Amino acid sequence: MIAEINANNLRDINKPNQPFWVTGRLCPAYQDGRWIFTELAYDAPYEKRYPDDDEDYGAYIGHPNKIVFFYYHDGACVGQVRVRKNWNGYAFIEDLAVARDHRGKGIGTMLMETAKAWARQKGLGGLMLETQDVNLPACRFYHENGFEIGAVDTMLYANFEASRHEKAIFWYLRF
């Protein structure tokens, strides 16, 4: 079941945010006017977890230009997508998370379809998002869902010791 954020489920923010395995990295290259990529596998995978967000998500409740959708399974929040209208005519996916034990079951796809429907309802031209090159499962998911690389930022994480070697990859899906 998918539900919009409201006063009763506000506490479910960050619940699906769980670690993932870093098994390699995406290696994008800009050639002949388009982005292509290969994957580089690591010899020693490691676990990574993004910090929980601590914004005031109450501001998303009933807001015309941003929203959170939760996915519930057996009454527990196991997925979320947070989306906002962006200045460039896209809907920006701020976060898409599925709890570890529920990955690979189509929940991310259902949340992505919900975000697409919201963006279309707002008259936006597509979706955009950013993820790290070391989040191969996410990069694969976005590519498999029709997104294409629009930009790579090598400096976005430069001031964070644990992440300074990571590249930010911006993905776009045009409607």
All structural domains of the chain: 2-174 (3.40.630.30)
Quote the percentage of the chain above a pLDDT of 90: 91
- pLDDT, one tens digit per residue, over 72-120 is 999 999 999 999 999 999 999 999 999 999 999 999 999 999 999 999 9
| Structure confidence at residue 11 (pLDDT) | 94
> What pLDDT digit, counting tens, does each position of 23-57 carry?
999 999 999 999 999 999 999 999 999 888 888 89
Q: Please give the backbone phi and psi of residue 16, each rounded to the nearest 5 degrees, phi first.
A: -80, -5
In this predicted structure, what is the pLDDT of residue 53?
82
pTM of the model: 0.94
Q: Tell me the per-residue pLDDT of 120-153, one tens digit each, with 9 for 90 and over.
A: 999 999 999 999 999 999 999 999 999 999 999 9
Q: What is the helix (H) or strand (E) element at residue 96, kind and residue range?
A: strand 91-98
pLDDT at residue number 99: 96
